[in-house]
Structure 1
């Protein structure tokens, strides 16, 4: 199997990335001799960094710097184009803060045939001993529901980007990643498209640890929160339309909570404006 991997960085040296650290350990193990791997480090940082490519046999490493910081969708599309060019069958998406394991990497490398219609292979993702991915996508509060079991997922699920293995042929079919979701909700859109096209997701029985980003209004800028809102509304208004009525209610509850608990009332105001634009 020929594989392209993309690791997206922002204001972080490759050596400071938990994903890169664990990947380097795995590739350096004598028990792992991967072949036909293209590793792309896509750096959205303002300044280019000095980086010495990995020298492991069977792995070709590329460092690409894009100071425009267009988000992960642009990075993934760059990697998708590279995967097509080097005839990779699969594209592996990686964030900077996922702790990779030998079991996970061996499962990916030894993937030979997948069940019919499967175009995405994902691991279990845990954060603070809670399984956060994949989850069933028929609810706005999926963490309150039962979690999927390993195997082919007949019922629609959503998984986070990092650790997801996506078939290049499927990306060709949907014309790559939707850059209307430059950062937030790109994973929701991708897995929505998988089931919309009649394809499936396969969950391997391997778990990874991931640092879950929790929305903290004391640390998230107004601009960042605005970006999250835009992506949310875009997704529920134009794609997952069956959940739009429930999303309106959730947004109203969020507005009231922000009004009562968040010191910066501009946050609540942005929620209020977006609520009445639906």
Structure 2
């Protein structure tokens, strides 16, 4: 099975990231699969870094520096183009802070014969000892409800990008990743499209750890929150329309909570501004 792997970096040296270090100790050690792997480092950092692929014999590595920092959609679309050109069956999406395991790598390299309807294969992701992905996508508060179990996901789920293996043929049908979601909610859009087009997701019986700080207001700047909120609103207005009325109500509750508990009041004021524009 041919796989193209893309790891997206920002202001971090690839060789210092959890993802790269775990790739070295798992995937890079498997001689039998090296000729079937294309690895892309896509660096959105302001300054180009000194990367020497010669250090990793047997793995074809390319380094792309894009100081424009257009987000992950641009990085994924570059990787999708490469995957098409080299005849890859799957595209593996990775952030810089996902800790891969031998079990996960063995699972994706030795997949059983799966139905043609399965176009995404994902692990269970935990953050701070709590499973955060995948989740069922019929609710605005999925972490408070039943969580998916391993195997075929008949009911629509949403999974985070990192660790997701996506069928290249399916991405071809989508014409790549949606540039309307350059960073945030790109995963929501992708998994919405999977089920909207009658396809399915396979959940591995594998757990990976991943750092997730989104919506932790002590760690999110105003600009970052604005980006999240704009993408969130776009998603519920144009795609997950059945949840839009409930989303508006939840946004009101979020504004009240932000006024009462969030130190940076500009965040609450931006929520109010966007509410009034709906």
**TM-score bracket for this pair, using the shorter chain length:** over 0.9
Q: Determine the C-alpha separation between the residues in 2 that align with 1:2 and 1:28.
A: 15
Contact 2:158 2:191 in 1 (8 A): yes
| Cα distance in structure 1, aligned partners of 2:129 and 2:54 | 32
Is the contact between residue 36 and residue 58 of structure 1 (CA under 8 Å) also seen in structure 2? Answer: no
Please identify which structure carries the higher helix content: 2
Which runs of structure 1 show a deviation greater than 4 angstroms over 4 or more consecutive aligned residues? 30-33, 54-58
- Unaligned runs of 5+ residues in structure 1 are none
RMSD, matched Cα = 1.5
Q: Distance in 1 between matches of 2:23 and 2:272?
A: 43
Question: Would you say the 8 A contact 2:213–2:220 is kept in 1?
Answer: no
Aligned equivalent of 1:170 = 170
Q: Contact (CA 8 Å) 2:7, 2:41: kept in 1 or not?
A: yes
The runs of 5 or more residues in structure 2 that have no matched partner are none
Distance 1:241 1:30, change over 3 A: closer
Q: How far apart, in 2, do the equivalents of 1:161 and 1:27 lie?
A: 19
Cα distance in 1, alignment partners of residues 262 and 12 from structure 2: 30
Tell me the TM-score normalised to structure 2 length: 0.96
1:219-255 per-residue CA deviation (whole Å, 9 max, x = no partner) reads 3222111111100000000000011111111100011
Give the CA deviation at 1:216: 3.0
Q: How many correspondences in the alignment?
A: 278
Task: Give matches, 1:238-249, under 5 Å.
Answer: 238-249=238-249
**How far did 1:56 drift?**
4.6
Query: How many Å separate the matches in 1 of 2:82 and 2:95?
Result: 18
Match of 1:236 in 2: 236
**Map of 2:76 onto structure 1:** 76
Q: Which SS does the other structure have where 2:6 is aligned?
A: strand
2:189–2:239 Cα contact (<8 Å) kept: yes
Match of 2:125 in 1: 125
* Pairwise CA distance, 1:35: 3.1
Q: Secondary structure at the match of 1:92?
A: strand
Secondary structure of the structure 1 residue equivalent to 2:207: strand
Contact 2:159–2:188 under 8 Å retained in 1: yes
Tell me which moved more, 245-254 or 107-116: 107-116
